[in-house]
Structure 1
């Protein structure tokens, strides 16, 4: 993947979840808060287990877009 390649919001959201899960496994993190966050980001019937997580994600995307490229 290169810097100009794009992904959908759903792909980006799932990539964030996969990233957090892999970091937790690699680093051996056992934090209950991180476990709950990862669990809330998982998909069930086409939506996140915690619907508020999707809204938080959309808001974060808007903030990142408004800041522009680093």
Structure 2
């Protein structure tokens, strides 16, 4: 992937979940807070387990869009 490639909001949501999970596993120790976050980010029946996290994700994506987002 290149820095200017685009992905959908759902792909980005899954990407951040996978990213956080990979960091968590690399730490190789129990991290209750991260485990709680990851559990809420997982999908069940076509939607996130914690709908509030999806709403927070959408708000963050909107903010990035409005601010021009992305690293310089």
TM-score (norm 2): 0.88
1:37 aligns with 2:41: no
What's the offset of the Cα at 1:4? 1.9
What's the offset of the Cα at 1:5? 1.3
CA RMSD of aligned residues (A): 1.2
What aligned pairs does 1:1-70 form with structure 2 within 5 A after superposition? 1-68=1-68, 69-70=70-71
Q: Which runs of 4+ in 1 moved over 4 A?
A: none
What's the offset of the Cα at 1:29? 4.5
Unaligned runs of 5+ in 1: none
- The number of aligned residues is 70
Unaligned runs of 5+ in 2: none
